[in-house]
C-alpha cells in the first residue's frame, strides 16, 4: 500500500478552521506532501515545483489529521510555518474584540468583507476552537506553545503559527468591487462570464465573498504569484479555497517575508500579501500596517471583467451574512434544478455520506433527507421524500416559476443534522 510522503523541504501549512462535527468545514493545505490516492479526504494538485495536497475534515477528525501530517513530516518540524484563518492574540487566545476585526467592517471595507467579532457566543467558540488547534500544531511540531503576532522577522529555525483572513486578503488582491454585485449567504450569486474554472453557462452559485473574489481572479494571483501551481486556480470548494489562500500566505512568509505585511494593531493582526490593489492603499494605511511595507499596484489584470450583472437567487433568506457563519453546522441549500441538488452549487455536500439530513431554518422547519442520485460521479443529490422535491420546497416558500434553473434559483437556510446510514 502506498504511503504518505513528505519531500523533506521546509514545512509550510495553511489551515482553514471550522467546528462542525458533521460538515467537513476544516481544510489542511500542505506543500511538499504526497498523499496516496486512496485517501479520499485529500486532493492533490499537480504542476508545481513541490507536491501540494489539501484535505477536508470535520472538526472531530482534524486533530488526528494534524498528528498524521506531522508524523509524515518526521524529525525537524521545529522549523516551519502555519497560517490559519482563526483569531490569535498577541499571546494566544484573544478574549476581547480586536481592532483589526472591526476596522475591516468600516469605510470602503464595509460590505466587501465581514470579519467576525471575538466577543459573543460564536466569537468565543471560534477563539476556543482556534486555540485548541494552535496548541495541537505546536505539540505536533514538538515545540513549546508560543502563538502570537508576526514580528516581521524571517522564520529561520523557528516553528511559527500566525493568523490571516481569506475574505479580506482575497478582496485586497483585486480592485474594489461594486458592493451590489457581491454575493452573501442572503444572496448567493453566479458570475455571468466564463472563468478559468467554468464556462459562462456553468458557473456555480457561491455564498461566500471569498469564493467570489477567488473566481474573479484572486485565485489566479495565488496560483501564479504565490503557489506557482496553475491547477490551484481551478479549485472552487469553499474550504479548499480558504486553505490554499492560507498556504499561499504561509509560503510567502517562509520564503520571502518582505512580500507580506501584518495589518492591524497590537491586539491582533492579519498577515496578508504585501501586494494589494492600489484602490485599498489609503484604507489599509488608516487601519495600520504593524509590520512590513505595502506594495500597492494596479491589479486589474487579475480581475475578471463582467459585461452583465451577476445572477442572484430569487429570494433573500434570513440568515447571518458573515463568511464565518458556515464554520459550524449551518449553511444554505441552493435549489436550481427540478431534478435534485447539485454539489457544484452546494459544496458543503462534498465528502458527506448518505443519507444527509438537513433542517430548514425558516418558518417551515421541515427535516429533509438527501440521498445521492443515480449519477455515478456523485455530483447530484436528491430528496428522499416526494414531499420534499426541490421545486415543491421552493414553491412552498413563494417561488413563482414553473422550473428551477441557473437563472431561477431559490435558497433555503439550513442546519446539517446528520450524515451517514
130-175 pLDDT, tens digit each: 999 999 999 999 899 988 999 888 777 789 999 999 999 999 999 9
Specify the DSSP element, H or E, that contains 33: strand 33-34
- Residue 200 is predicted with a pLDDT of 84
- Can you tell me the mean pLDDT for 185-201? 89
100-124 pLDDT, tens digit each: 999 999 999 999 998 989 998 899 9
Please list the alpha-helical segments (H only) found in 166-294: 166-172, 209-213, 219-221, 238-255, 281-287
- Residue 324 is predicted with a pLDDT of 84
For residue 355, whether the previous peptide bond is cis, meaning omega lies within 30 degrees of 0, is yes
Give 215-220 contacts, CB < 8 A, sequence gap 24+. Answer: 215/191, 215/304, 216/174, 216/177, 216/191, 216/303, 216/304, 217/173, 217/174, 217/301, 217/302, 217/303, 217/304, 218/170, 218/171, 218/173, 218/174, 218/302, 219/170, 219/244, 220/196, 220/302
- Residue 111 is predicted with a pLDDT of 95
DSSP state string for 121-181? HHHHHHHHHHHHHHHHHHHHHTS--------SS--TT-EEEEE--HHHHHHHTSPPPPGGG
Residue 1 has pLDDT above 60, yes or no: no
Residues in the chain, total: 421
- Can you tell me the mean pLDDT for 298-324? 90
Q: Which residues pair with 286 in a beta bridge?
A: none
Domain boundaries, given as residue ranges, for the chain = 5-302, 329-419
Q: What is the percentage of the chain residues whose pLDDT exceeds 70?
A: 99
Alpha-carbon Rg for the chain, nearest whole angstrom, is: 21
33-69 pLDDT, tens digit each: 999 988 999 999 999 999 999 999 999 999 999 999 9
| Mean confidence (pLDDT) of the chain | 94
Q: What is the dihedral of CA 225, 247, 9, 228, to 10 degrees?
A: -20
Give pTM, 2 decimals. 0.97
- Can you tell me the mean pLDDT for 209-227? 96
- Residue 377 is predicted with a pLDDT of 86
- Residue 355 is predicted with a pLDDT of 97
Residue 2 has pLDDT above 90, yes or no: no
Confidence grade of residue 76 (pLDDT, cut at 50, 70, 90) = low
Choice between 224 and 3, residue whose per-residue pLDDT is larger = 224
- Residue 229 is predicted with a pLDDT of 96
DSSP state string for 302-354? GS---SSPPEE-SS---S---GGGGGSSEEEEEE--TT-EETTT-GGGTTPPS
- Residue 172 is predicted with a pLDDT of 98
- Can you tell me the mean pLDDT for 65-83? 86
- Can you tell me the mean pLDDT for 392-408? 96
Residue 77 has pLDDT above 70, yes or no: no
Residue 260 has pLDDT above 90, yes or no: yes
Amino acid at each position: 500500500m502506498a504511503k504518505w510522503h513528505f519531500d523533506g523541504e521546509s514545512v509550510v501549512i495553511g489551515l482553514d478552521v471550522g467546528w462542525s462535527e458533521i460538515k467537513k468545514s476544516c481544510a489542511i493545505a500542505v506543500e511538499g506532501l504526497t498523499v496516496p490516492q486512496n485517501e479520499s479526504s485529500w486532493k492533490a494538485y499537480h504542476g508545481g515545483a513541490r507536491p501540494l495536497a489539501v484535505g477536508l475534515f470535520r472538526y472531530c477528525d482534524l486533530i488526528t489529521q494534524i498528528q498524521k501530517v506531522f508524523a509524515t513530516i518526521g524529525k525537524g518540524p521545529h522549523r516551519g510555518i502555519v497560517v490559519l484563518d482563526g483569531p490569535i492574540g498577541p499571546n494566544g487566545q484573544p478574549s476581547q474584540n480586536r481592532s483589526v476585526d472591526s476596522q475591516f467592517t468600516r469605510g470602503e471595507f464595509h460590505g466587501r468583507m465581514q470579519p467576525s467579532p471575538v466577543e459573543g457566543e460564536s466569537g468565543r467558540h471560534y477563539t476556543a476552537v482556534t486555540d485548541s488547534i494552535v496548541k495541537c500544531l505546536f505539540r505536533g511540531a514538538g515545540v513549546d506553545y508560543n502563538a502570537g503576532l508576526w514580528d516581521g522577522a524571517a522564520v529561520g529555525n523557528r516553528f511559527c503559527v500566525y493568523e490571516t483572513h481569506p475574505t479580506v486578503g482575497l478582496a485586497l488582491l483585486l480592485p474594489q468591487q461594486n458592493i451590489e454585485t457581491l454575493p452573501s449567504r442572503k444572496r448567493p450569486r453566479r458570475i455571468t462570464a466564463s472563468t478559468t474554472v467554468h464556462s459562462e453557462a456553468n458557473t456555480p452559485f457561491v455564498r461566500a465573498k471569498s469564493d467570489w473574489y477567488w473566481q474573479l481572479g484572486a485565485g489566479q494571483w495565488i496560483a501564479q504569484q504565490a503557489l506557482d501551481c496553475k491547477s490551484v486556480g481551478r479549485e472552487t470548494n469553499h474550504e479548499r479555497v480558504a486553505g490554499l489562500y492560507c498556504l499561499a500566505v504561509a509560503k510567502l512568509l517562509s520564503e520571502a517575508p518582505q512580500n507580506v505585511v501584518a495589518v492591524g494593531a497590537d491586539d491582533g493582526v492579519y498577515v496578508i500579501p504585501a501586494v494589494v490593489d492600489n484602490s485599498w492603499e489609503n484604507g489599509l494605511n488608516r487601519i495600520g500596517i504593524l509590520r512590513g511595507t505595502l506594495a500597492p499596484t494596479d491589479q486589474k489584470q487579475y480581475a475578471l471583467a463582467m459585461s452583465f450583472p451577476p445572477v442572484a437567487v430569487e429570494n433573500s433568506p434570513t440568515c447571518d451574512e458573515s463568511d464565518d457563519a458556515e464554520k459550524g453546522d449551518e449553511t444554505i441549500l441552493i435549489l436550481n434544478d427540478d431534478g435534485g441538488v447539485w454539489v457544484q452549487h452546494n459544496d458543503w455536500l462534498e465528502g458527506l455520506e448518505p443519507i444527509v439530513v438537513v433542517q430548514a431554518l425558516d418558518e417551515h422547519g421541515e427535516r429533509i433527507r438527501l440521498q445521492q442520485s443515480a449519477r455515478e460521479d456523485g455530483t447530484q443529490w436528491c430528496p428522499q421524500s416526494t414531499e420534499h422535491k426541490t421545486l415543491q420546497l421552493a414553491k412552498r416558500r413563494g417561488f413563482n416559476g414553473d422550473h428551477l434553473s441557473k437563472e431561477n434559483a431559490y435558497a433555503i437556510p439550513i442546519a446539517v443534522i446528520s450524515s451517514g446510514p
